[in-house]
Chains A and B, each alone.
Chain A
Amino acid sequence: MTALYVLDVPENTAVAKVAGQDPDVAVAKLGPYFEITADGAIVVDRRATGCRHAVWYSCVAGVGGGEIVQHDKDALRVEPR
């Protein structure tokens, strides 16, 4: 399983919300972090989040069981290892 951790601060909430719009992705809280999990890939569309670049490129707190294969101006994509 792939887990993407995002710190729960105001500018990051849209990242978790957009990630959770995929029915195959679950979003829970682990302490002050969003724990975003999926059996397959987790994909977040940057424009849907409204994040500007500085926040977008620093919103990932941790990646468990997978790796980031795309993190550019279009999307963040985490795939299972």
Chain B
Amino acid sequence: MPLEPLEHKVRGVDHAAFPTFDPVATVRFYRDTLGFPVVHSICAAGWGPEDHPDFIHFFFDIGNDDRIAFFYYFGLEPVHEAPRGDAYAGFGPDTPEFFVRSRHLAIHVDDQDDLLEYRRRLDASSWPVEMQIQHETIESIYTHDPNGYMVEFTRAMRPVTPQEDLDATLTIDALLDVVGAPEPSFGKLLARKAELIVERAAAWELEQSR
């Protein structure tokens, strides 16, 4: 780790891009159901060394001027026939369900009113909320978009505290130590993290109080 943190100059998500084979349903979902404005699109003739199809690259605003974008390729058929997965990738029976469900986009909302508003919009559509969870720190709703991509809306139940940043730092330092050694395990991570807590936690608190 560098002694002084590198200057943090980035400004959020410009766009995260995904392929779609169903632009109609994609627009119905993001624009007409969720109310995400279409903010940009590119109509591009295929070019390049590969046999690249003509395509439309279109963008929806997901708040904060961040965007989710899609590629629709004319004439391209779905790239897999696996029973599970999404437009981008398919998974067979050997891939555990928790793994298939791990990749998702979580969109932030400010409070419960806003979360429930998106719940209402989804529940009135062809893509109703599949799961709503709430515990001490977050409340979230989940569905899959028409392309099979998992989308979450989430709100924080309380502000993040400074000590959570310290804890995250210690977790990652411990994780790098443990996965850099043979047979990493959760138990080894907790043991290493305990050592780092003893080394650094008191000094961190002193620093905070200055």
List chain A positions with a Cβ less than 8 A from chain B. Answer: 3, 5, 7-11, 30-33, 51-55, 60-64, 67-68
Contacts and interface: CB of A to CB of B under 8 A. Distances in A.
B195 interface: yes
B201 interface: yes
Interface residues of B, number: 28
A32 B204 contact: yes
Shortest 3 CB-CB distances between A and B: which pairs?
A: A31-B201, A62-B194, A32-B163
Contact of B197 (A9, A51, A61, A68): A61
A62 B197 contact: yes
B183 interface: no
A51 B136 CA distance: 8
Interface string B179-210: 00000000100111111111011111100000
Given A62-B190, A62-B194, A63-B190, A11 B136 contact: yes
Contact of B201 (A30, A53, A68): A30
A53 B135 contact: yes
Contacts of A30: 197-198, 201-202
A33 B182 CA distance: 29
- Specify which of B136, B187, B202 lies most central, judged by the most chain A CB atoms within 10 Å of its CB: B136
Given A7-B164, A32-B205, A55 B136 contact: yes
